[in-house]
Structure 1
Amino acid sequence: MNSKDLLYTLALQHIPNLGDTTAKKLIRHFGNAENVFKEKKSNLLKLDGVGSIRLKGLNDSKHLKAAEEELKFIEANKINYHYFQESHYPEKLKHCIDGPILLFSRGIINLERKRIISIVGTRQITSHGMAFCEKLIEDLSPLDPVIVSGFAYGVDITAHKAAVKSKLQTIGCLAHGLNQIYPKVHKKYVNQIEENGGFFTDFWSTDKFDRNNFLKRNRIIAGLSEATIVIESAEKGGALVTADIAGSYDREVFAVPGRPTDKFSSGCNNLIKAQKAHVITSAADLAYILNWEIEEKQKSVQKQLFVVLEDDEQKLYEFLKTRGKTELDLLALNCNFPTFKTASLLLNMELKGVIRPLPGKLFEAI
């Protein structure tokens, strides 16, 4: 995308009533943003869902003037931009109907062929929630996932810090432009995150800070990843909104269960009761539901000449060597282990390079 295309796309993004869904429809039909501005209004209105209210102010010169100023900011600060029709736009976000026509980023972000998960939750994280979040990310680290969150207090910053500690790529999705950081006390983490990932936003440098921005930001958190995990949440909260958005995108949602009396477990428990989320108690639950496999090159590195297996792992291994490919539930039944324990054991064995998962929730010995 050249500067002229970027200018007109910014101008289209600046029109308040248009929205990303309609803007993308117009661009796809008329070729690019410049053509949309130059097309007769009567032709624009022929498209389904494009009404006069959405096009209000389309010919107002203030949108191009605002775009010119934002373009100067982008160029002066070397902001990366991602256009929804280009290859470096996040792949999973392309499939979200309301994904932004332009996404801005800073840092060193590489999402190509990456497993991506979003971790969200309350800003008032408990010690239990913090410990679970840190352990989950540590246990997932051999699978090299990208950890996405909102860079807010509580669960968000815990997830980012745990990802950095495990040397994983992490992305903070911001509810404001890249000319500021909120909350200000998190400025000390900016360099670490940009060295291990970076930040995404669809807000401009001129956008006013507003609480509603967080709700808009949440669609990017949900849209970037193949699964969203809610660590802790009260009965109402932004994390539950993100979970609902992820569900609407047909992505997997997980929630950490808690005691009925725990305030910050009620939101998670309600998601599970309503069958809007899978229960997650360990990294094995996530790997099992998502059918994540370790790449062959990782297996070759991790497989040792003499692998030490625990007694329960040895029992599973011997069964698989004897019987061949076996489903998880059948494996658990024959070895007299609960399913959740079997899934956890299998993940450990996979990391040791002695078994491999197969499509259809099957496992086999290597």
Structure 2
Amino acid sequence: MSPEDIALQMTPGIGVKSAVHLLECFGSAARIFAATEEELTGRAALRPEAARQIVRRKGFPAAERELEHCRRNGLTAVASTDPQYPALLRETPDYPHVLYIKGDAEALTARCIAVVGTRDATPYGQHMCNRLIEGLAERVPGLCIVSGLAFGIDAAAHRAALAAGVRTVAVLANPLPGVTPAQHAGLARDILDHGGALVTELPSQTKQNGSFYLARNRIIAALGAGCVVVESPDSGGSLVTAHCADSYDRTVMAVPGRATDRSSAGTNHLIRNRKAQLVLTAGDIVRELMWDLGPDPATLRQKVPTPELTPDEAGLLGCFRTNDPVTTEHLAGASGLDPGTLATLLVGLELAGAVRQLPGNRYMKL
């Protein structure tokens, strides 16, 4: 970790997305600080005042203080240009350039699943959380459960992971080494003692005002290959996490509840609106993530051979140029089909096992 990486974060006028843009333009924090004001305003289209702050190295005194804070408190600072940085997080358009980690940084690059839910968890929600994570621990080598250390389902997910003997990562909305809520300091110690990690994007010099929880949720969503919402009312942070996961092309899953239960209103709406896949067991989660847990658990399930299709279905399948998910709007434009015909052919391709529908009205080729 170089001082330049933290100094970029500390420079006045440079936010998360500005840092991402600058890194795309110059490749590293060191090259950003080596650039002239003209290069910053021209090549990166940066505002003149922000460019001057970089050229004058205004963030370096704070960066040196932050590095000393990390050394004093046993924290690891990892930049997005470092090999230890989580690859899934790096794929997102608003990744934090620097992560501050206490514990084992390798836990963030394991086979991660995000598990989130309401703070007002019911016995049913806690039971389902325990059941799903226990089942995943039995099936998935190298599993790591990611959550936010909050009351309710978050804490239940961390505890279930610890009880099942798998690592867990808590993403915090406060600087380390502090823990919020303070009542979960003991749980945080257990996470560290069992090979997990505490993570934040916030340096120690951040002014706490309680406004970082929603931003924290995007990191939870990004670290997991999928996001499971166990229990949620019709509004709340866990639905924000689900929305972030969907925007990052992660698989969003939800546990259904009774129609009359307030604590399941949000999860039921996610399922009803096709924003999340319904899951009841750990096996459902593994299938939704398309993980092959055979001899080589690191590989995905092999693609099935393309089945016999009608000429129209085969023509539509040809519009899937890559294995990446595409929207129905993209398919309509690429195929020239009207909405009714397109919907009929997509159903045929689904039944043939050639494509699969994903949340957000997207499809992917299998």
Q: For each residue in 1:57-88, what CA deviation from the matched residue of structure 2 results, as whole angstroms up to 9, or x when unmatched? A: 43566522111111110122221121111211
Q: Which amino acid aligns with 1:96?
A: T
Q: Using a 3 Å threshold, how does the CA distance of structure 1 residues 237 and 170 change in structure 2: closer, same or farther?
A: same
CA distance in 1, matches of 2:231, 2:287: 21
Which consecutive residues of structure 1, in runs of 5 or more, have no partner in the other structure? 299-324, 328-358, 362-366
Does 2:74 correspond to 1:78?
Answer: yes
Q: How many residues align?
A: 300
Q: Which amino acid aligns with 1:271?
A: L
Instruction: Name the TM-score, length of structure 2 as normaliser.
Output: 0.76
2:271 matched residue in structure 1:
272
Q: For each residue in 1:265-320, what CA deviation from the matched residue of structure 2 results, as whole angstroms up to 9, or x when unmatched? A: 1111111122111111111211111122224289xxxxxxxxxxxxxxxxxxxxxx
Which consecutive residues of structure 2, in runs of 5 or more, have no partner in the other structure? 298-303, 307-352, 356-366
1:166 matched residue in structure 2:
164
1:148 matched residue in structure 2:
146
CA distance in 2, matches of 1:238, 1:136: 21
Contact 2:107–2:167 (CA<8 Å) still a contact in 1?
A: no
Q: Using a 3 Å threshold, how does the CA distance of structure 1 residues 31 and 256 change in structure 2: closer, same or farther?
A: closer
CA distance in 1, matches of 2:214, 2:72: 29
Contact 1:219–1:242 (CA<8 Å) still a contact in 2?
A: yes
1:212 matched residue in structure 2:
211
Q: CA deviation at 1:211?
A: 2.4
Give the alignment of 1:1-366 within 5 angstroms.
1=1, 6-47=2-43, 50-52=46-48, 55=51, 57-59=53-55, 62-111=58-107, 114-142=110-138, 143-144=140-141, 145-196=143-194, 197-296=196-295
CA distance in 2, matches of 1:158, 1:209: 26
Q: CA deviation at 1:173?
A: 0.3
Q: For each residue in 1:240-270, what CA deviation from the matched residue of structure 2 results, as whole angstroms up to 9, or x when unmatched? A: 1111111110000011111222111111111
Contact 2:23–2:29 (CA<8 Å) still a contact in 1?
A: yes
Contact 1:233–1:266 (CA<8 Å) still a contact in 2?
A: yes
Q: For each residue in 1:137-182, what CA deviation from the matched residue of structure 2 results, as whole angstroms up to 9, or x when unmatched? A: 1111121321000011001010000000000010000101113111
Contact 2:102–2:177 (CA<8 Å) still a contact in 1?
A: no
CA RMSD of aligned residues (A): 2.5
Q: Using a 3 Å threshold, how does the CA distance of structure 1 residues 30 and 109 change in structure 2: closer, same or farther?
A: closer
CA distance in 1, matches of 2:305, 2:20: 46
Contact 1:147–1:170 (CA<8 Å) still a contact in 2?
A: yes
CA distance in 1, matches of 2:296, 2:224: 24
SS in 2 for 1:110: helix
Q: Which amino acid aligns with 1:227?
A: G
Q: CA deviation at 1:23?
A: 1.4
Contact 2:191–2:197 (CA<8 Å) still a contact in 1?
A: yes
Q: CA deviation at 1:54?
A: 5.4
Contact 1:90–1:111 (CA<8 Å) still a contact in 2?
A: no
Q: For each residue in 1:322-345, what CA deviation from the matched residue of structure 2 results, as whole angstroms up to 9, or x when unmatched? A: xxx999xxxxxxxxxxxxxxxxxx
Q: Using a 3 Å threshold, how does the CA distance of structure 1 residues 104 and 295 change in structure 2: closer, same or farther?
A: farther
SS in 2 for 1:203: coil
SS in 1 for 2:54: coil
SS in 1 for 2:179: coil
Instruction: Name the TM-score, length of structure 1 as normaliser.
Output: 0.76
CA distance in 1, matches of 2:146, 2:281: 18
Contact 2:108–2:223 (CA<8 Å) still a contact in 1?
A: no
Q: Using a 3 Å threshold, how does the CA distance of structure 1 residues 239 and 16 change in structure 2: closer, same or farther?
A: farther
CA distance in 1, matches of 2:15, 2:235: 26
Q: For each residue in 1:334-363, what CA deviation from the matched residue of structure 2 results, as whole angstroms up to 9, or x when unmatched? A: xxxxxxxxxxxxxxxxxxxxxxxxx989xx
SS in 2 for 1:190: helix
CA distance in 2, matches of 1:103, 1:80: 8
Contact 1:92–1:225 (CA<8 Å) still a contact in 2?
A: yes
Q: For each residue in 1:191-246, what CA deviation from the matched residue of structure 2 results, as whole angstroms up to 9, or x when unmatched? A: 21002211111111121223221111111101111100111111110111111111
SS in 2 for 1:105: strand
Contact 1:106–1:200 (CA<8 Å) still a contact in 2?
A: yes
